[in-house]
Structure formats: C-alpha cells, structure tokens
C-alpha cells in the first residue's frame, strides 16, 4: 500500500495565558471542528503556546543586564535586557558574530538566541519574551495524556519550534519534545534496492513531521496546532532528547 500523510491545522485555539490547561484547549478546538481523532494521530503543538501556558515568560523591565550584555547590545543595536535573558538561558555560547548569538541551551539545543523569542507573545507584550519549556518532553507527555483521554484515542505529541540550519537558507520546524512516538527511523543494516547495506541512515522522523505540520499551521495564521495522520506505525516510546546529538560526536562545535 502506498504510504500517505494527511495534515490538518486546528483552528479556533484562543490566546493562551499562563496556567491554562493547554491540552483541554486543544481538545475543545478539535471537537468544534467535528473531526474525529484516530489512533496514532500526531498532534504537533507550537512551543510558543506551551511556554505561555507553563508561564515560561520573562518581563524585560525586571531584568538587570550584565556588563557583557550591555556591551554586546550597544555594539549591535540590541536590547540589553533581551541579551541578558539569552545569556541566562544558555549553557554555552557557540558564536557571537555580526549581531547574531548562537548558543547551546540548558537542554542541549543549539539554536539562535537560546530559544528566547519576542514574537507571537500577545498584544501589548513588547516588554515580555518567552523561553523554551524547561522540559519539553514532560510537556509533550502531559499533552499526550490529556489529548488521548479527551479524544478517546491514543495519540502522540510533538512540541515544535522554528530553528535555522547551518549551510541552508530558510528555517524549519523541529521537535523539541516528543511523547508517544519513536522520533528516529533507523535504517542501518537494511539493504537498499541493489543489495547494498545502509551504514549511516537514521531519519529524524519527529523533525520531519514537525516541519510538515508548519506548512499548514503557518507562522502568522494563529493556528499553532496541527494533526498529522498516517504516522501510526511509528507510535511507541521516545523523546525529544533522542534527537540531540552528543557533543562528542559533533564535528562542528
């Protein structure tokens, strides 16, 4: 049978406030669409609303920048309070160049600005930035449990965020947290159609599903959740941590 994926954006999710039951909000929005959830559906949920629900927010007027943050901000026309928050969210600076900060977060993610973001926070929130969830896998698991119960079917969840890529233009969505899904497809040891054994091919399935979901959620459409149907064969135990390459095997840092 030919493999197929179907991806649906979930409209009608309201602005999310700290302390909100995000799983219940998503389940309610799904119920209003009249769309039945099937076993193995994968919910891809934008990190921003997860962070907002969990209160992973910082008021910039409460931040006291360090001398290094003040110096960097002045040199590159940045907000010193935002730079200070980035430093706090980073366990290591990979690159500081041309006004760009590439850091390793406390989770181990290598990304711009330590995952700190001022976009899509909410109206009148110019003095507030969001942080990445403290434990994206735990966030994904809580959402998986709530949605599976509310929808009456076992589902998987991905907490996604937008990352840049070395050597490639454009951004893609990747999986930060994963629950109920095996995030990697390991083809090593399999034979290609010509009988050659594959030696290194491991596909980042969860990242691919997160990227595919962004095509329908879109960055400015106010639809931060999508459902991917057709990936049930990969349901199982897994986590977003499995996608983070250990520094000992990383040739570029």
pLDDT surpasses 70 at 74 = yes
2 and 41 Cβ atoms separated by less than 8 Å: no
Residues 160, 219 within the same domain:
yes
What's the longest Cα–Cα distance across the chain?
62
**What is the model's pLDDT at position 3?**
83
pLDDT band at 1 (very low <50, low <70, confident <90, very high): low
What are the DSSP calls for 27-69, one per residue?
A: HHHHHHHTPPP-TT-EEEEEHHHHHHHTT-EEEGGG----HHH
Reply yes or no on whether the pLDDT at 123 is more than 60: no
Going by C-alpha positions, the residue among 227, 115, 243 that lies closest to residue 177 is 243
**Residue showing tokens 């039945």:** 36
Contact (Cβ atoms closer than 8 angstroms) between residue 42 and residue 233? no
> 207 and 223 share a domain?
yes
- Please state at what angle helix 136-151 crosses helix 22-33, rounded to 10 degrees: 40
* Number of domains, the chain: 2
Q: Are both 83 and 158 inside the same structural domain?
A: no
Whether residues 78 and 105 share a domain: the answer is yes
Report if residue 135 sits inside a domain. Answer: no
Residues 35 and 80 in one domain: no
Q: Give me the chain's average pLDDT, please.
A: 93
Choosing from 98, 115, 130, the residue where a domain stops is 130
Residue at 252 is within a domain: no
pLDDT in tens, 162-181: 999 888 999 999 999 999 99
Of the chain, the percentage scoring pLDDT greater than 70 comes to 96
Domain presence at residue 142? no
Measure the CA–CA gap between 229 and 107, rounded to whole angstroms: 29
Residue 34 lies in a domain: yes
Q: What is the CATH number of the domain that holds 171?
A: 3.30.1330.100
Confidence of residue 122 (pLDDT cuts 50, 70, 90): low
Give, in degrees to the nearest 5, the angle at Cα 18 between 16 and 23. Answer: 55
pLDDT > 90: percent of the chain:
84
Residue recorded with tokens 């951004």:
171
Q: With respect to residue 125, please indicate whether it lies within any of the assigned structural domains.
A: yes
143 assigned to some structural domain? no
Nearest to 113, CA basis, from 135, 134, 85, 136: 85
- Are the C-beta atoms of 22 and 15 separated by less than 8 Å? no
Helix 67-76 vs helix 80-88: crossing angle, to nearest 10: 130
Flag whether pLDDT at 250 surpasses 90. no
Q: Check whether residue 110 and residue 31 sit in a common domain.
A: no
What is the band of 78 on the pLDDT scale with cuts at 50, 70, 90? very high
159 shares a domain with 37: yes
What would the pLDDT profile of 193-241 be if each residue is shown by its tens digit? 999 998 989 999 999 999 999 999 988 889 999 999 999 999 999 999 9
Q: Determine the pLDDT at residue 76.
A: 95
Q: What is the pTM of this model?
A: 0.94
Sequence-distant (6+) residues with CB within 8 A of 144 are: 43, 155, 156, 157, 179, 180
User: Do 34 and 67 fall within a single domain?
Assistant: no
Check whether residue 184 and residue 237 sit in a common domain: yes
Residue 235 in any domain: the answer is: yes
Residues 194 and 223 in one domain: yes
Cβ(46)–Cβ(117) under 8 Å?
no
First to last CA, the chain: 43
148 belongs to a structural domain: no
Q: Do 11 and 65 have their domain in common?
A: no
Both tokens of residue 90?
């980073």
pLDDT in tens, 135-151: 999 999 999 999 999 99
pLDDT score for 205: 97
Q: Containing domain of residue 72, as a range?
A: 57-130
Residue with token string 């099937």: 38
Separation of alpha carbons 222 and 97, rounded Å? 33
Per-residue pLDDT at 105: 96
Residue 16 is predicted with a pLDDT of 95
Give, as one character, the DSSP assignment of residue 234.
G
Q: Domain check: are 206 and 167 in the same one?
A: yes
The CATH number of residue 77's host domain is 3.90.1660.10
């Amino acid at each position: 049978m030919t493999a197929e994926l179907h991806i649906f954006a979930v409209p009608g999710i309201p602005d999310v406030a700290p302390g909100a039951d995000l799983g219940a909000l998503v389940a309610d929005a799904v119920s209003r669409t009249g769309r039945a959830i099937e076993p193995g559906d994968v919910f891809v949920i934008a990190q921003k609303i997860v962070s907002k629900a969990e209160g992973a927010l910082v008021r910039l007027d409460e931040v006291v920048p360090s001398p290094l943050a003040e110096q960097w901000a002045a040199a590159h026309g940045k907000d010193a309070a935002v730079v200070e928050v980035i430093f706090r969210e980073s366990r290591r600076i990979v690159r500081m160049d041309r006004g760009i900060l590439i850091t390793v977060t406390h989770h181990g993610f290598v990304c711009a600005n330590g995952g700190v973001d001022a976009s899509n926070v909410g109206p009148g929130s110019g003095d507030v930035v969001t942080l990445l969830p403290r434990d994206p896998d735990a966030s994904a698991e809580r959402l998986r449990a709530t949605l599976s119960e509310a929808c009456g079917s076992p589902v998987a969840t991905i907490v996604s965020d937008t990352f840049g890529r070395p050597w490639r233009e454009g951004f893609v969505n990747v999986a930060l947290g994963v629950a109920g899904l095996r995030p990697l497809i390991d083809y090593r040891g399999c034979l290609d159609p010509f009988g050659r054994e594959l030696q290194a091919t491991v596909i980042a399935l969860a990242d691919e599903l997160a990227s595919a979901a962004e095509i329908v959620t879109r960055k400015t459409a106010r639809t931060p959740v999508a459902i991917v149907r057709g990936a049930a064969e990969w349901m199982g135990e897994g986590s977003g941590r499995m996608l983070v390459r250990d520094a000992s095997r990383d040739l570029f840092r």
